[in-house]
């Protein structure tokens, strides 16, 4: 009876709301069906214009408001699209986020965000049914964050059982303010193609692509793969580096001649931070993460997904099988009971088909040619040493403290924080730095070194002391073992002022990973003045055969490319950012990497085909990046905290 009561309450509330709404939309708030409740560490109050004002504190990670349904949950499957009208009530840029929560969740929940200028209004729009394909009935699918589902379930989310909406900012150590004017549900603009669940398996073709639909650029046979190679050969022969006055590193000979030290360094010129390349030229690091050949997917316990898999002793493709023996951080393969499991790499199989037995050498050469022609001058984190080791494109190195004792009581998305007070922390770091020094201590092509990635700073109450010990220890070890290279920080994804202040004291460059429409991050006012670099950002869309957009969704490839231009140009206009690195070089596998991520976030597809829209966006940015940055007018002090998320 309780469930029936909730359904009746929800139906009645929607009937009342529908009487005031158009045929295509329903007002979710203000409405008798819902209420806005303050999240921890936030205060809400009605404003004179009818909106609800929100003032956030500095303790909770996601302060804001929660919109709850009176009946506990509601069916929004007839609508699918949500829009939230919000305003910035402060004098600095504020990024307001939306997360749609459900009773049952199969993967990442729908969400979106909007960056609001001071005192400006805007709208967060989320299409929870953004998947181009639906199944006519439920089908159990595992190991992916996005995949087709039965009607009404959205992509990885059951729209029939929506519980609440969270409207919030990400805590960065400063108080924020925004207001909510209205929340509406409207009909989805996505036209879904319904596919029969019976016969859906297998759904992956021999190239690692989705079998049951078509799109521009899809490869259907080896002849098309060869044709795509020849077409790109012709394109590369006709397109040179778009960076005007570029030196051998991709630095700017058209700017001032500065001191040449033989290695990358930083310098502030006319109020703007820059990297300076080994020849003494200004350098902006326009780069990509995960530059390499492969990206395997789990096959174990999911063999029925694939229409083709080679025999393990196949002379051409058998070498691309793998065996995973450690649990993933999240998802289907996190369960130890599923270990070990087989993997297969369709990227490598396609490289073998496309380039022949010498695919690794040809592919490495092509990678450098592509980057030069696309206006990219940095092979960034997580990349293949067989490629950056050719020393034709500047690169960054990564050293991890994984395997060292963890800080007691700490937890986070990627695990507990390393304990910098434990002697094993420094010993392990030094051993790995010494190993790296054997190949790159005196290498002028190395921009610098990242240590660790997206550490869980917000989960540890003693964070100021921990951060100071962590960054000072890493700084000392790197100065002793890798003295010629910049310390690029730990790629901060979250953390309060104390983290940024400690990082700025000890790092040459403060790195931040930003998944947002704009690079809305800066150092706090008390931090030492240091340059910053974006270690990761991306945008994705679902118009080319994949199942998940990644962390920042766009409608299609054209909008994805437009967002790329805006993001990198905003970095160029910021006085502190000296680079921006896209995540990542290739799309993630259709069936997901080990932790289930199957994002459409590459410059290249699984068949090694470039996305022309994104390539041209990168070339557009490269054509003007040095002139733009050198002429941009801004004030360092005015920018502090204005761009904070």
Q: What is the pLDDT of residue 153?
A: 61
Lowest-confidence pick of 442-446, 558-562, 574-578: 558-562
CATH superfamily of 2-195: Galactose-binding lectin (2.60.120.430)
Per the prediction, the chain carries an average pLDDT of 90
Residue 516 pLDDT class (50, 70, 90 cuts): confident
pLDDT reading at 16 higher than 50: no
Q: What is the pLDDT of residue 114?
A: 85
Higher pLDDT, 357 or 3: 357
Please name the residues in contact with 266: beta carbons below 8 A apart, sequence gap of 6 or more: 273, 274, 275, 276, 486, 508, 509, 531, 578
pLDDT reading at 405 higher than 80: yes
Q: What is the pLDDT of residue 392?
A: 98
Distance CA 635, CA 6 (A): 55
pLDDT reading at 135 higher than 60: yes
Higher pLDDT, 495 or 10: 495
Sign of the CA dihedral 127, 131, 132, 137?
Answer: negative
What residue spans define the domains of the chain?
A: 2-195, 398-483+491-510
pLDDT reading at 11 higher than 70: no
Q: What is the pLDDT of residue 345?
A: 98
Q: What is the pLDDT of residue 636?
A: 40
Closest CA to 298 of 262, 254, 349, 334: 334
Burial of 31: CB neighbours in 10 Å, binned 0-12, 13-18, 19+: buried
pLDDT reading at 242 higher than 50: yes
Lowest-confidence pick of 101-115, 374-388, 547-561, 567-581: 101-115
pLDDT reading at 20 higher than 50: no
pLDDT reading at 579 higher than 80: yes
Residue 451 pLDDT class (50, 70, 90 cuts): very high
Token pair in block for residue 286? 């326009």
pTM greater than 0.95: no
Distance CA 467, CA 473 (A): 10
Q: What is the pLDDT of residue 632?
A: 67
Q: What is the pLDDT of residue 129?
A: 74
Q: What is the pLDDT of residue 633?
A: 54
């Amino acid at each position: 009876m309780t469930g029936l009561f909730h359904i009746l309450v929800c139906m009645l509330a929607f009937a009342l709301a529908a009487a005031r709404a158009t045929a295509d939309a329903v007002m979710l708030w203000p409405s008798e069906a819902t209420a806005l409740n303050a999240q921890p560490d936030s205060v809400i109050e009605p404003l004179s214009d009818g909106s609800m004002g929100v003032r956030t504190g500095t303790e909770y990670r996601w302060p804001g408001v929660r919109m709850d349904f009176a009946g506990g949950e509601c069916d929004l499957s007839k609508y699918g699209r949500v829009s939230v009208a919000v305003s910035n009530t402060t004098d600095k840029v504020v990024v307001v986020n939306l997360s749609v929560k459900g009773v049952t969740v199969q993967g990442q929940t729908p969400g979106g965000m909007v960056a609001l200028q001071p005192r400006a209004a805007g709208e967060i729009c989320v299409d929870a049914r953004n998947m181009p394909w639906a199944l006519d009935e439920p089908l159990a699918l595992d190991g992916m964050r996005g995949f087709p589902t039965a009607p009404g379930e959205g992509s990885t989310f059951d729209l029939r059982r929506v519980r609440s909406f969270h409207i919030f900012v990400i805590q960065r150590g400063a108080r924020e303010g925004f207001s909510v004017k209205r929340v509406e549900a409207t009909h989805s603009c996505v036209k879904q193609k319904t596919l029969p669940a019976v016969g859906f398996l297998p759904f992956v073709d021999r190239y690692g692509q989705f079998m049951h639909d078509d799109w521009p650029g899809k490869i259907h046979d080896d002849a098309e793969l060869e044709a795509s190679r020849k077409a790109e050969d012709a394109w590369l022969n006709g397109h040179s580096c778009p960076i005007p006055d570029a030196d051998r590193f991709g630095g700017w000979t058209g700017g001032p001649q500065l001191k040449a030290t033989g290695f990358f360094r930083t310098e502030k010129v006319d109020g703007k931070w820059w990297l300076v390349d080994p020849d003494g030229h200004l350098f902006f690091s326009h780069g990509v993460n995960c530059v390499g050949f492969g990206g395997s997917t789990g096959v174990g316990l999911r063999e029925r997904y694939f229409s083709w898999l080679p025999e393990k002793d196949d002379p051409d493709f058998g070498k691309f099988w793998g065996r995973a023996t450690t649990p993933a951080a999240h998802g289907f393969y996190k369960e130890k009971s599923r270990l070990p499991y087989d993997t297969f790499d369709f990227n490598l199989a396609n490289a073998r088909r496309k380039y022949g037995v010498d695919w690794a050498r040809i592919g490495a050469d092509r990678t450098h040619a592509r980057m030069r022609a696309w206006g990219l001058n940095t092979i960034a984190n997580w990349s293949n040493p067989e490629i950056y080791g050719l020393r034709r494109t500047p690169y960054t190195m990564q050293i991890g403290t994984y395997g060292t004792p963890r800080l007691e009581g700490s937890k986070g998305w990627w695990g507990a924080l390393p304990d910098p007070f434990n002697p094993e922390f420094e010993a392990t770091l030094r051993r790995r730095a010494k190993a790296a020094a054997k190949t790159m201590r005196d290498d002028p092509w190395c921009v610098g070194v990242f240590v660790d990635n997206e550490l869980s700073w917000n989960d540890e109450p003693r964070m100021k002391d921990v951060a100071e010990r962590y960054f000072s220890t890493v700084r000392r070890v790197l100065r002793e073992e890798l003295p010629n290279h910049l310390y690029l920080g730990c790629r901060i994804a979250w953390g309060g002022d104390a983290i940024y202040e400690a990082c700025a004291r000890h790092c040459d460059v403060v790195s931040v990973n930003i998944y947002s429409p704009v690079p809305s991050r800066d150092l706090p006012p008390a931090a030492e003045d240091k340059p910053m670099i974006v270690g990761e950002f991306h945008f994705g869309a679902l118009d080319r055969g994949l199942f998940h957009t990644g962390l920042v969704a766009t409608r299609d490839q054209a909008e994805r490319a437009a967002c790329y231009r805006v993001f990198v140009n905003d970095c160029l206009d910021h006085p502190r950012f000296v680079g921006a690195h896209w995540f990542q070089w290739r799309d993630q596998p259709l069936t997901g990497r080990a932790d289930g991520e199957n994002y459409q976030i590459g410059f290249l597809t699984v068949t090694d085909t470039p996305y022309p829209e994104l390539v041209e966006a990168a070339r557009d940015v490269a054509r003007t990046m040095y002139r733009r940055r050198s002429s941009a007018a801004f004030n360092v002090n005015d920018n502090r905290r204005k761009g904070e998320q």
